[in-house]
Amino acid sequence: MTSAIEQVDRWPRAILFDLDGTLIDSVPDIATSVNLLLASESLTPLTVNEVRSMIGHGIAKLVERAFRARDIALEGAPHVAMTERMMDIYKDHLTEQTVLLSGTEDILRSYHGAGYGLAVVTNKPEGFSREILDHFGFSAMIDCVVGGDTGPARKPAPDMLLHALKQIKVPASDALMVGDSPADIDAAKAAGVKSVAVHGGYTPVPANELGAGITIDDLNELPDAIAQLKP
């Protein structure tokens, strides 16, 4: 794959990837953690598919949605407390059942080897994201990790993408965002970054309805998508 990538003119100079639902399938570990949190309040568990539909806007939103599914509206201090408890639970289950999605390893290694700038831009906490990337041996390939607690406003705001691009010194016109959710694609639009949507992520909205420049079935199709999007 590396040779095919190297033959493509150097656009984009940088590729920004979402994490959950784009590079990894983390739902089993997240569902385990959510259900441990619910069990601590004597609440019945959610299915993996129910949890899957709740992912995408950070852990605080996930906790809010999980409790709402059990007819509990979390607000204020109780919401903060449950979010902190969820963080404590999930940090012990980050990589037990999480797996790479198809094409992830080949794509990251090939684009890194060809000299492209790579970043992970995710609403998951930065520390958790770095631990997962390190677990899979990707840390040395990723030039920048921007998480939901890094500082910039979270996706779908453009701030996280623009922060990553500033760190790797690449303009928005020379970058590409690859994600699976409305938050990813909307953030890319707001940042002036072209985008690719990946099927099978954590959103009830079909990938081909997200408004990305092109939609792919998995990351193995990314080089062809880039060739089509190239200015």
- Give the three-class secondary structure for 162: helix
Q: Is residue 2 within 8 Å of residue 224, measured between CB atoms?
A: no
Q: Give the burial class of 169: count Cβ atoms within 10 A of its Cβ; 0-12 exposed, 13-18 middle, 19 or more buried.
A: exposed
Q: Give the Cα separation of 199 and 197 in Å (integer).
A: 7
Closest CA to 130 of 83, 167, 95: 95
- Amino acid occupying residue 86: M
Q: Is residue 170 within 8 Å of residue 121, measured between CB atoms?
A: no
**What is the DSSP track for 107-120?**
HHHHHHHTT-EEEE
Longest dimension (CA), the chain: 57
Q: Is residue 159 within 8 Å of residue 167, measured between CB atoms?
A: no
Q: Give the Cα separation of 20 and 113 in Å (integer).
A: 23
Q: Give the Cα separation of 182 and 147 in Å (integer).
A: 17
Is 92 one of the annotated active-site residues of the chain? no
What is the distance in angstroms between the CA of the first residue and the CA of the last residue of the chain? 22
Which member of 9, 18, 174, 217 is catalytic? 18
- Residues labelled catalytic: 18
